[in-house]
Amino acid sequence: MSLLRQRMLEDMRIRNMSPRTQECYIWQITKFAKHFNKSPEELGIEEIRQYQLYLVERKTSWSVFNQTVAALRFLYLTTLQKEWKVEQIPFPKQPKRLPVILSVGEVSQLLKVVRDYRYRVILTTIYGCGLRLLEGTQLKIKDIDSSRMVVRIEQGKGKKDRYVMLSEKLLEMLRLYFKTVRPSGIYLFSSKQNRDKPVHESGVQRAFQKALKTLGWKKQVSVRTLRHCFATHLLEAGMNLKTIQELMGHNSLETTQIYLHISRSSIQNLSSPLDLLTDF
């Protein structure tokens, strides 16, 4: 391991950044260095600008571009302590896209056709609790509190703990799952190869995509869609936005307000001006 790589890892650990973020940052810096075939210490603002243009020309997704900029900012401003202004490594403008939402009936239909029983339970849990994929795969047996009917999400995004509701239907499914699969170790959904590790996210994603293929749906949806559906369906059922924010683990209410724009109830209650035309 190079000295620069080691120093950057240490800087990220000092700031208690998640292992996944550390891994992503190192990977993006590695790609940046390979592109110029030089150490990042020999590169500067002009090379960063060229690399950003390269990513734009390759039509790199906003999320990857954003991750690359964050990694470069951390390396040069924190680890290498370059006296640059943050604005010299600009973030791209985030596209404003609303997530695709499935109806309650469509979610039910989708979950029913997931063939692998274990993955069906995981995906149902993700929808029933509004979890991120990583939060769902890393649930521990002790996180399910049936006496209080809550699920504890330990160290979710932003290193925050939170609680979400545990529905009666989900509890019934988890009890049957526990009797059938008999998970051992600490994880509720452990890897088949290693019981001491959680199931890998890629397996859950594949199971979701297979279910979509079975149904013949062409909608641009993913496992994350189930989390969006959770929030939207709660809003349509009358739950207030502040409570949904807490259940989702959002730092800002502004993040949660996106569901106001996609909630069916808020749109259906509006009248089109076309209805006001009398002689049409």
Segment 104-158, tens digit of pLDDT: 999 999 999 999 999 999 999 999 999 999 999 999 999 999 999 999 998 766 6
* CA atoms of 198 and 189, how far apart (whole Å): 6
Closest C-alpha to 206, from 107, 114, 130: 114
For 212, the enclosing helix (H) or strand (E) is helix 201-215
Sheet holding 144-145, edge to edge: 144-145, 150-156, 160-165
Contacts of 158 (CB under 8 A, 6+ apart): 249, 251
- pLDDT at 184 > cutoff 60: yes
- pLDDT at 237 > cutoff 60: yes
Q: What are the sequence ranges of the domains in the chain?
A: 3-88, 104-267
Q: What is the DSSP string of 234-271?
A: HHHTT--HHHHHHHHT-S-HHHHTHHHHH-HHHHHTS-
Segment 21-62, tens digit of pLDDT: 899 999 999 999 999 999 999 999 999 999 999 998 888 888
- CATH tag, 3-88: 1.10.150.130
The residue type found at 5 is R
The predicted pLDDT at position 265 comes to 60
- CATH tag, 104-267: 1.10.443.10
Q: What is the pTM of this model?
A: 0.74
